[in-house]
Structure 1
Amino acid sequence: MVAVTFGTSSEEYHLLVDAASSNTWVMSSECETDACKTHSTFGKEDSTSLTVSDQTFSITYGTGQVNGTVATDDVHVGDLSASLTFGLGIGVSSDFTSYPMDGILGLGRGDSTSNAIEAPSLMDLLSTKSLIKAKLFGLHLSRTSDGDNDGELNFGAPDTERYSGDLNYMSVIENEDGFWEIPLDDAGVDDKTLGSKGRSAIIDSGTSWLMMPEGDAVALHKLIPGYTQSGETFTVPCTSKQAVQLTFGGVVYNVSTADYIGGKLSNGACSSKIIGRQTFGPHQWLVGDVFLKNVYTVFDLDDSRVGFGVKSEEAVASSTVSSSASATGSPTASGTPSNAPTSTVEEFSGASATPTSLKTCTAGSTSFSNSGSAKLAPTGTTLLTEASTPTGTAVVTAESQQSPSATASPTNKGAAVR
């Protein structure tokens, strides 16, 4: 989640960073449902600059639904500010009662859903006003077990200190839903591959899990000794050491056991966060935080592509991404170029924010908590709630945890939100 403020209000609202949706909304002070009673709400009494229209909106997620009125006000995210049209959630379903967020910060490529909010997204506004150098955002997710709670959201340029080597870019597969969907080369466990072809992955920061059609999930778990299946869910031995692997753009990325092995169950086994559920098409996987915690991810709207950066030696099998790879081929785990026409591997040459001693960038710095929190999935999926609770709370800057910094000037081209 990321902490934002609206208009003249000084109160922070914690919004879930959702790469699968472009709609932003926050719970309204007019909301009387149980969900709103346990969260921070926003309304005219909180900001003198808020304007509320007669337009309504309605969004249905895999788990949960929200409807309400459309409003406009300045939104402040770290050092960045823009006049944003967003939703005030009046009818918020009970599904949100146990979720830690007060709303959604939509960073998707564009929604085609009817009754959604028809207005420029935050990324559109930041780019149009030249507050960021490039229309992209980078995402670093931390995990609870590491104890760092140092998640980071970068606008306009990636934080090059968050990854080693170069970014491995894959072109987005065009789709009507505006998803960040990219080709999935293959998957496997400890270098034993499934040999799957024709799969794609919808990259979604708003989903905690790794979801795929049941047949693919069974095949993947068969490579983990001691697994069991019960419908769409699986268990694995808590002591499993095998690394699950996903291959994108010719690079094999490891998924840590810390991310795909869940809590211990009454039978002594641990739940698997790899779920056998077809969320969309028969060859589409929904790739959420289980994978994203292992890489630094860049969502590039200008060039319609997704890039992965290797966080450490553990995040990629055998080798890091080679800086000498060509634009039409990308390295395999052994560093040998393979034919991957939909991907490029390159070093980002644009501006990047400079971290301080607290690893906080000077432009647009704010923190967000992601580890262990419940996540929303796109329409057509069902949320599976993690047993753990979020660690820490969202913080606007390293210097102050109460109020955002001043609005970024147009010269601040790389803004980081931590």
Structure 2
Amino acid sequence: MNGVTFQRAKAISDPTPDRVSLRSSRLENLKGKAKFHGHPGISALERAGLVSPRKSQNVSTVGDFSTQYALQCEWDGEEISGPMGRSDISCGGLFVPEQQVGLANKTYWHGNNVTVGILGLAYPSITSAYYGQVGEEEPWLTISYTPFLTRAISQGTIDPVFSVAIMRNSSSGILTWGGLPPMLWNPESKAVTDLIIANLIDQEETAWEYSFYTIIPDGLVWGLTRDTTQYPYIVDTGTTMMHLPPPLAEAIARAFKPRATYIYQWGAYFVPCDAIAPRFAVIISGVEFWINRADLIYQDLIDPLTGLCACGISTGGPGPYILGDVFLQNVLAVFDIGAAEMRFYSRD
């Protein structure tokens, strides 16, 4: 399949019934108003004057060299780094004691004056710390550890499933543990698809271990065109746009009226802010999930030289290809880890 070798992930349990869970947490958009010029966002640990002493973090050391264990995370143009420690973590009613966690001492994104870190939900195979100073991360210095979600499931606190709904025209969303959020979705527009194991980032262990939440859609639809070429896509809340194979991204960019222009400085397509986006859908297990046209043009991501607005689709180069927030704003995504599958419900 387009040069990618993969295998279906093996289920360890039956699918968890889709029912409402009361364990939910509000998601906050990492990015504030952006003009494509970054500025640092510093964690609460470095803003002592703004944090109440009664709300201090109870972080203990990992070991004799705790300050030498480094966290570094990069995605979608953002970056976090800092030392490792252990802390009791509670999120949306889900509690995990003595969780090994990275302290987000330094972060870089278009800040919103609220967010001070990120909670990763990746599989253990791509979750690791580094032994050494922050900034000196090397592959041979990695140290694996069990992440928050894996520990929560292993201790039996929740069913092995979580769901995500990102809100449109808002800076927030809902993350729900063990079930679905108390919100409207369309039960008649549902798709179920397998999670797969594939080496998409030239990291050896991802060829045989669970890594990203990766699926293979049936294809894409835009305008009067239907392309059923199959590629693996990572479903990722931490990626703003949809990163598509270059020929598809270019074809969809041409379908905007007027057609989109690729600006190499930003590595993205841009259109006049009042342009008309094409009808566009992702096909999963035979179900077409249509993307709201308003989500395909970012009115607040403007190129200062041309005054053009960024498109919601971008070229993914050689990969990996990603279904980011543009897609997730239009569906309720259910990550059933135990059954090794994903389920999607339309929200329109």
Asked whether the equivalents of residues 59 and 85 of structure 2 are also in contact (C-alpha less than 8 Å), the reply is: yes
Q: What does residue 337 of structure 2 align with?
A: 301
Q: What does residue 71 of structure 2 align with?
A: 58
Q: What does residue 133 of structure 2 align with?
A: none
228, 233, 236: which one pairs with 1:201?
233
Q: Which amino acid aligns with 1:59?
A: Q
Give the Cα separation in 2 of the matches to 1:208 and 1:39.
32
Give the Cα separation in 2 of the matches to 1:57 and 1:128.
25
Give the Cα separation in 2 of the matches to 1:226 and 1:108.
39
Give the Cα separation in 2 of the matches to 1:273 and 1:189.
14
293, 304, 312: which one pairs with 1:273?
312
TM-score, structure 2 normalization: 0.68
Q: What does residue 218 of structure 1 align with?
A: 250
Question: Cα offset for 1:42?
Answer: 11
Cα distance change on mapping 1:41 and 1:302 into 2, 3 Å: farther
Deviation per residue, 1:227-273 (Å, 9 max, x gap): 13234422335241532111111111111112111126675754312
Give the Cα separation in 1 of the matches to 2:330 and 2:71.
34
Q: What does residue 169 of structure 1 align with?
A: 192
Q: What does residue 100 of structure 2 align with?
A: 85
119, 132, 139: which one pairs with 2:164?
139
Asked whether the equivalents of residues 243 and 255 of structure 1 are also in contact (C-alpha less than 8 Å), the reply is: yes
Give the Cα separation in 1 of the matches to 2:278 and 2:333.
23
Give the Cα separation in 2 of the matches to 1:161 and 1:97.
29
Give the Cα separation in 2 of the matches to 1:64 and 1:304.
29
Structure 2 residue 217 is the aligned partner of structure 1 residue 184: yes
Describe the SS at the equivalent of 1:107. coil
Q: Which amino acid aligns with 2:167?
A: S
Describe the SS at the equivalent of 2:196. coil
Give the Cα separation in 2 of the matches to 1:182 and 1:41.
41
87, 90, 107: which one pairs with 1:76?
90
Give the Cα separation in 1 of the matches to 2:261 and 2:90.
46
- The count of aligned residue pairs is 277
RMSD: 3.4
118, 128, 134: which one pairs with 1:104?
118
Q: Which amino acid aligns with 2:71?
A: S
For residues 15-414 of structure 1, the aligned pairs below 5 Å read: 27=43, 29=45, 36=46, 46-47=56-57, 49-53=58-62, 54-55=65-66, 56-62=69-75, 63-83=77-97, 84-90=99-105, 92=106, 95-96=108-109, 98=111, 100=113, 101-112=115-126, 115=130, 118-132=144-158, 134-144=159-169, 151-159=173-181, 161-165=183-187, 167-175=190-198, 176=206, 178-193=211-226, 195-230=227-262, 231=264, 232-237=267-272, 238-240=274-276, 242-263=278-299, 270-278=309-317, 281=319, 284-312=320-348
Give the Cα separation in 2 of the matches to 1:260 and 1:214.
17
Unaligned 5+ segments in structure 1 are: 5-13, 17-25, 30-35, 313-418
Q: Which amino acid aligns with 2:81?
A: N
TM-score, structure 1 normalization: 0.58
Q: Which amino acid aligns with 2:269?
A: F
Give the Cα separation in 2 of the matches to 1:140 and 1:45.
29
Cα distance change on mapping 1:272 and 1:45 into 2, 3 Å: closer
Q: Which amino acid aligns with 1:233?
A: A
Give the Cα separation in 2 of the matches to 1:191 and 1:39.
57
Unaligned 5+ segments in structure 2 are: 1-23, 31-41, 131-141, 199-205
Describe the SS at the equivalent of 2:232. strand
Give the Cα separation in 2 of the matches to 1:69 and 1:150.
28
Question: Cα offset for 1:291?
Answer: 0.6
Asked whether the equivalents of residues 57 and 67 of structure 1 are also in contact (C-alpha less than 8 Å), the reply is: yes
Give the Cα separation in 2 of the matches to 1:112 and 1:79.
25
Asked whether the equivalents of residues 210 and 274 of structure 1 are also in contact (C-alpha less than 8 Å), the reply is: yes
Give the Cα separation in 1 of the matches to 2:111 and 2:294.
24
Cα distance change on mapping 1:158 and 1:257 into 2, 3 Å: same
Indicate the percent of aligned positions where both proteins have the same amino acid: 19
Give the Cα separation in 1 of the matches to 2:74 and 2:51.
20
Question: Cα offset for 1:305?
Answer: 1.6
Question: Cα offset for 1:70?
Answer: 1.9
Cα distance change on mapping 1:160 and 1:88 into 2, 3 Å: closer
